[in-house]
């Protein structure tokens, strides 16, 4: 009986661990320009009548999103397993000049 139970428990544990690593998200900082652009996109796509937005900040003072006057909240979140946003720097360094991605 232990021969059947042990692999089953291990499989369930690994499945839960995999799901947790895929489902869990972390907050990523954004710049003020990105927040403004995302707010403008929100206004255009939803025909929002809001005229102002409030920044949502993390503990370290970095910007993680914004809140529109209409009540819409945006927070930049990425999956735990996603890579960092360093690909742009690697591409521009390999060519020797900045590339807009």
Domain boundaries of the chain, sorted by first residue: 26-79
Per-residue pLDDT at 12: 92
Per-residue pLDDT at 101: 45
Q: For 59-99, write each residue's pLDDT tens digit.
A: 888 888 899 989 898 888 776 666 555 544 444 444 555 55
- Would you say residue 27 has pLDDT above 80? no
Q: For the chain, what percent of residues have pLDDT higher than 90?
A: 11
Using CA atoms in the order 43, 45, 47, 48, what is the torsion angle rounded to 10 degrees? -30
- Would you say residue 7 has pLDDT above 50? yes
User: 73-75 and 77-79 as β-strands: parallel, antiparallel, unpaired?
Assistant: unpaired
């Amino acid at each position: 009986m232990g021969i059947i139970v042990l692999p089953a428990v291990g499989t369930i544990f690994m499945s839960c661990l995999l799901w947790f690593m895929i489902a869990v998200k972390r907050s990523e900082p954004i710049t003020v320009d990105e927040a403004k652009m995302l707010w403008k996109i929100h206004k255009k796509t939803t025909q929002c009548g809001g005229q102002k937005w409030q920044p949502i900040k993390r503990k370290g003072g970095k910007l993680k999103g914004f809140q529109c006057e209409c009540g819409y909240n945006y927070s930049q979140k990425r999956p735990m397993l996603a890579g960092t946003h360093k690909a742009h720097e690697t591409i521009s360094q390999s060519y020797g000049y900045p590339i807009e991605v």
